[in-house]
């Protein structure tokens, strides 16, 4: 097994390498005067299972598109150099929000990104809190594993349960309601207290965000606005303002991916947040939040990826199988790897095109220690309403199922 990282994600990859007790393999990146580039490994990868790290978020030096192109070309060169397996380790997978057509001739960007990576020989993808896990599964023909950061956030917010105020998890839009229910269930199981769920309405069209409906009681409560991504900051700020207006005692914000676009810091500071908690999936969250007056906490997600990589390195991607389908380790946040129906678990990489008729399998190998309780099972009452077509729907298209209190006994 060899671990590579493109230059922009090297800081995060060093933490991952430390968890794996290994080093980062050497490579060269050269950018030419006209903007073209060359990336190559500086050591042999023949017969190796290679993992390549890159978070696909724009930074001052490279755009999302630049990073995606570099990742694809480097992975292709590794395959050409004889790597047996190439797994893309993408803590933040860009273009996930455009997973369906909402207007005529819209692109389905998630599927196009999948085809691009598969075309250069990537035969496995590890990511964290995909915008729509079902859409991720449907887009890729190769195995994927969507890790979950919720256990990290549950550990961070568990001390709130020590107060006398109620706990409420607030979804800032209808599409995130299932995620909020799952997190509330996990938090309830961790703290032994009931955790309520509330919902803020949001409609987005042509860059405008509207919607004033609010469901749930937050008066006198400690509220956690829980989402997968913060970019412009508008969604979080609206939800926090609505909670304050309805009498919340305190409002915290939590999101896995802190993309934090220009202008977001001022919106977040104006939202009256007690704290902002992010995972380090983008890699430079503190730089992006420079000037933020709100307390910032950045959680380390490298251990989640290290656990997954150890499982994947032990067996080829298509052979990674779960003890229980869909199982999530509460302590590590690992969830079931997905194998598309277009890939046979017994086929070699040279015979992928002939395996389109094989049945789909969706499974995971969890570490032996720890709880085997999935987020999806904890919130089964809400998840069951999403049906098999969840992958074709975005967050705004998913209607809320219920606003309820989640007790630790469920």
| CB neighbour burial string for 3-27, b if at least 16 within 10 angstroms, e if fewer | bbbbebbeebbebbbebbebeebeb
Q: Which of 67, 98, 202, 267 is catalytic?
A: 202
The span from the first CA to the last CA of the chain, in angstroms, equals 41
> Contact at 8 Å (CB) between 33 and 74?
no
Fill in the DSSP letter of residue 102.
S
Contacts of residue 266, Cβ cutoff 8 Å, sequence gap at least 6: none
- What count of residues does the chain have? 410
Tell me how far apart the alpha carbons of residues 33 and 55 are, in angstroms, rounded to a whole number.
Answer: 25
- Name the percent of the chain in helix, strand, coil, to the closest 5: 35, 20, 45
202 flagged as catalytic: yes
* Dihedral, 138, 112, 50, 350 alpha carbons, nearest 10: 80
| Interacting residues of 324 by C-beta distance below 8 A, sequence separation 6+ | 364, 366, 372
Rounded to the nearest 5°, which phi and psi values hold at 305?
A: -70, -35
Angle at CA of residue 274, ends 270 and 278, nearest 5°:
90
Cα distances from 341 to residues 127, 236, 388, in angstroms, run 20, 37, 15
Which among 160, 204, 212 has a CA at the least distance from the CA of 183? 160
Q: Annotated catalytic sites, by residue? A: 202
């Amino acid at each position: 097994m060899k671990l590579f990282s493109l230059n922009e994600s090297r800081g995060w990859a060093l933490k991952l390498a430390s968890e794996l007790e290994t080093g980062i393999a050497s490579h060269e990146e050269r950018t030419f005067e006209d903007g073209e580039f060359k990336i190559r490994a500086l050591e042999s990868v023949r017969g190796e299972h290679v993992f390549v790290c890159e978070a696909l978020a724009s930074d001052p030096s490279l755009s999302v598109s630049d990073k995606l192109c570099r990742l694809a070309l480097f992975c292709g060169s590794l395959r050409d150099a004889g790597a047996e397996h190439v797994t893309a380790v993408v803590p933040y997978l860009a273009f996930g929000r455009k997973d369906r057509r909402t207007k005529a001739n819209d692109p389905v960007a998630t599927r196009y990104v999948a085809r691009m990576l598969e075309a250069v020989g990537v035969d496995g993808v590890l990511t964290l809190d995909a915008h729509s896990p079902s859409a991720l599964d449907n887009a890729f023909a190769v195995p994927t594993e969507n890790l979950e950061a919720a256990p990290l956030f549950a550990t961070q917010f568990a001390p709130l349960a020590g107060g006398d105020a109620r706990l409420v998890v607030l979804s800032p839009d209808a599409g995130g309601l299932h995620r909020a229910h799952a997190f509330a269930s996990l938090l309830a199981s961790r703290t032994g207290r009931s955790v309520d769920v509330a919902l803020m309405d949001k409609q987005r069209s042509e860059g405008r965000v509207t919607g004033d409906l609010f469901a749930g009681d937050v008066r006198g409560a400690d509220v956690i606005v829980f989402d997968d991504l913060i970019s412009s900051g508008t969604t979080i700020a609206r939800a926090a303002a609505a909670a304050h207006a309805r009498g919340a005692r305190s409002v915290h914000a939590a999101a896995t991916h802190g993309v934090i676009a220009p202008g977001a810091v001022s919106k977040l500071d104006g939202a009256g947040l007690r704290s902002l908690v992010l995972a380090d999936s983008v890699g430079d969250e503190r730089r992006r939040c420079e000037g933020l007056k709100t307390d910032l906490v950045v959680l380390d997600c490298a251990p989640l990826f290290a656990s997954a990589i150890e499982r994947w390195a032990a067996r080829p991607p298509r052979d990674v199988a779960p003890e229980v389908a869909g199982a999530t380790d509460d302590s590590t946040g690992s969830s079931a790897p997905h194998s598309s129906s277009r890939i046979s678990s017994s086929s070699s990489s040279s015979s992928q095109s002939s395996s389109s008729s094989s049945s789909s399998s969706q499974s995971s190998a969890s570490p032996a220690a720890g709880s085997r309780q999935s987020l999806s099972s904890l919130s089964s009452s809400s998840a069951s309403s999403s049906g098999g077509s969840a992958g074709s729907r975005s967050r705004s298209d998913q209607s809320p199922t219920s606003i309820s209190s989640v007790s630790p006994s469920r």
